[in-house]
């Protein structure tokens, strides 16, 4: 069947055709090889859908019997607490420890012959500081000033520190990332 015939059958099934248009539609359906078969299937589908939509949804049955109580095990909670304690302990242990930097043996000084003039392009510049885009340094701090003021009003002191961490990816590229550290300490409520 063609798309036009499908649309025509849908309009016949919906019943939104005037009598003259309905006669022309039935003539077109009669002329099509599978027209009446398609029309019959469309009517059956519409009736099935209509019946399904008219049936009320069965009411949910409420069971009054409660399942037997199981004794709650403390082991999962203890395991989660142990994992959290280990994670915080490992973080506390590693924070503040300097990372060892590899020591490079100094290379022997290179001396140019007195007859040659040194080539300015061949001079080795001292290693430059890490170039960090300005937008990385100008990022807002993680705790907004309103939140900071609210915490300080309740007797807490906030210390925020930002470090720039650089790392080398396996493909050789360098990644620079700001790392913020926020420390909240209770120092006592302000007196009135």
Q: Mapping DSSP to helix (H, G, I), strand (E, B) and coil, where does residue 151 land? A: helix
Write the pLDDT tens digit of every residue in 46-65: 888 888 777 776 666 666 66
Asked if residues 12 and 22 have their Cβ atoms less than 8 Å apart, the reply is yes
CB-based burial of residue 65 (10 Å sphere; 0-12 exposed, 13-18 middle, 19+ buried)? exposed
Q: Can you list the pairs that 43-51 forms with residues at least 24 positions away whose Cβ atoms lie under 8 Å?
A: 43/13, 46/13, 46/14
Global pTM?
0.30
Taking alpha carbons only, the member of 79, 97, 76 closest to residue 87 is 79
Q: What interhelical angle do 3-14 and 19-31 show, nearest 10? A: 140
From first to last of the 192 residues of the chain, give the pLDDT tens digit: 677 888 888 888 888 888 898 888 889 888 888 888 888 888 888 888 888 777 776 666 666 666 666 666 777 777 888 888 877 777 776 665 555 555 555 545 444 444 444 444 444 444 446 677 777 777 788 888 898 898 888 888 889 888 888 888 899 888 888 888 889 899 886 555
Beta strands in 42-155, from DSSP E residues, in sequence order:
none
For residue 170, the model assigns a pLDDT of 92
- Indicate the SS3 state at residue 134: helix
Residue 156's SS3 state is strand
Q: Residue 167: what pLDDT? A: 84
* pLDDT at residue 191, rounded to an integer: 58
What ranges do the domains of the chain cover? 3-53, 142-187
pLDDT at 171: 93
Q: Where are the alpha helices (DSSP H) in 55-106?
A: 75-94
User: From CA 6, how far away is CA 57, in angstroms rounded?
Assistant: 32
CA distance 9 to 26: 9
Cα–Cα distance list, 45 to 38, 41, 54, 118 (Å) = 10, 6, 14, 93
């Amino acid at each position: 069947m063609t798309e036009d015939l499908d649309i025509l059958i849908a309009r016949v099934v919906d019943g939104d055709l005037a009598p003259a248009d309905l006669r022309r539609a039935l003539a077109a359906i009669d002329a099509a090889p599978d027209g009446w078969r398609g029309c019959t299937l469309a009517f059956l589908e519409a009736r099935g859908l209509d019946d399904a939509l008219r049936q009320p949804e069965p009411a949910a049955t409420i069971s009054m019997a409660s399942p037997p109580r199981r004794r709650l095990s403390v082991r999962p909670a203890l395991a989660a607490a142990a994992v959290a304690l280990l994670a915080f302990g490992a973080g506390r242990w590693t924070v503040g420890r300097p990372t060892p930097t590899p020591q490079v043996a100094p290379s022997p000084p290179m001396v140019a012959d007195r007859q040659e003039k040194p080539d300015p392009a061949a001079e080795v510049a001292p290693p430059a500081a890490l170039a960090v885009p300005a937008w990385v340094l100008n990022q807002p701090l993680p705790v907004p000033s309103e939140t900071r003021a609210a915490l300080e009003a309740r007797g807490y002191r906030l210390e925020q520190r930002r470090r720039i961490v650089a790392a080398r990816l396996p493909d050789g590229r360098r990644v620079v990332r700001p790392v913020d550290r926020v420390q909240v300490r209770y120092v006592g409520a302000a007196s009135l």
